[in-house]
Amino acid sequence: MDKTVSSSQTKLIRGDHLDGTIYSRGWQRTAQAADIIEPATGSVLGRIGMASAGDVAKASATAARAQRDWASASYDARAAVIRKAASLLETHFADVVDWLIRESGSARGKAEFETQLCIKALNEAAALASQPQGLVLPSETGRMNLARRRPLGVVGIISPFNFPLYLAMRAVAPALAVGNAVVLKPDPRTAVCGGLVFAALFEKAGLPEGLLHVLPGAGDAGAALVADPNIAMIQFTGSTKAGRVVGENASRHLKKVSLELGGKNTLVILKDADLELAVKNAAWGAWLHQGQICMSSGRILVEAPIFEAFTAALAEKAKTLPVGNPATDNVALGPIINKAQLDHIDRVVKTSVEQGARLLAGGTYDKLFYAPSVLAGVQPGMAAFEEEIFGPVACVTSFNGDDEAVELANRTEYGLSAAVISPDIGRAMAVGDRLRAGLLHINDQTVNDEVINPFGGVGASGNGTSIGGPSNIDEFTQWQWLTIRNAPPAYPF
Neighbours of 252 (CB within 10 A): 10
Cα separation of the two ends of the chain: 64
Cβ atoms of 194 and 214 within 8 Å: the answer is no
Question: Which positions ≥6 away from 324 have C-beta within 8 Å?
Answer: 40, 331, 334, 369
Separation between Cα atoms, residue 339 and residue 267, nearest integer Å: 28
Q: Does an H or E element contain 169, and which?
A: helix 164-177
Strand, helix or coil for residue 381? coil
Question: What pLDDT does residue 464 have?
Answer: 87
260 is catalytic: yes
Exactly one of 294, 303, 386, 475 is catalytic; name it. Answer: 294
What is the rounded distance in angstroms from the CA atom of residue 69 to the CA atom of residue 194? Answer: 26
The pLDDT assigned to 9 comes to: 44
Q: CA distances (Å), 341 to each of 188, 243, 291, 346, 438, in order?
A: 15, 18, 11, 9, 26
Question: Residues, the chain, total?
Answer: 493
Q: What pLDDT is stored for residue 21 in this prediction? A: 62
What's the gap between Cα 253 and its chain centre? 24
How far is 85 from 152, CA to CA, in rounded Å? 22
Alpha carbon distance 182, 193 (integer Å):
17
Whole-number pLDDT of residue 146: 98
Q: State pLDDT tens for residues 239-255.
A: 999 999 999 999 999 99
Rg (CA), the chain: 24
Which listed residue (124, 260, 386, 475) is catalytic? 260
Please report the pLDDT score of residue 26 as a whole number.
Answer: 42
Cβ atoms of 243 and 274 within 8 Å: the answer is no
Secondary structure letter of residue 192 according to DSSP: I
Is residue 90 among the annotated active site residues?
no
* Contacts of 248 by beta carbon, 8 Å cutoff, 6+ apart: none
Of the candidates 464, 460, 417, which has an alpha carbon nearest to the alpha carbon of residue 293? 417
How does pLDDT run along the chain (493 residues), one tens digit per residue?
223 222 334 588 877 667 666 665 444 555 688 899 999 999 999 888 899 999 999 999 999 999 999 999 999 999 999 999 999 999 999 999 999 999 999 999 999 999 999 999 999 999 999 999 999 999 999 999 999 999 999 999 999 999 999 999 999 999 999 999 999 999 999 999 999 999 999 999 999 999 999 999 999 999 999 999 999 999 999 999 999 999 999 999 999 999 999 999 999 999 999 999 999 999 999 999 999 999 999 999 999 999 999 999 999 999 999 999 999 999 999 999 999 999 999 999 999 999 999 999 999 999 999 999 999 999 999 999 999 999 999 999 999 999 999 999 999 999 999 999 999 999 999 999 999 999 999 999 999 999 999 999 999 999 989 999 999 999 999 999 999 999 999 999 9
Residue type at position 446: T
**Long-range pairs for 326-332 at CB < 8 Å and ≥24 separation?**
326/40, 326/101, 326/105, 326/106, 326/107, 326/108, 326/111, 327/38, 327/40, 327/98, 327/101, 327/102, 330/108, 331/107, 332/107, 332/287, 332/372
Q: How far apart are CA 398 and CA 377, in angstroms?
A: 7
The pLDDT value given to residue 25: 46
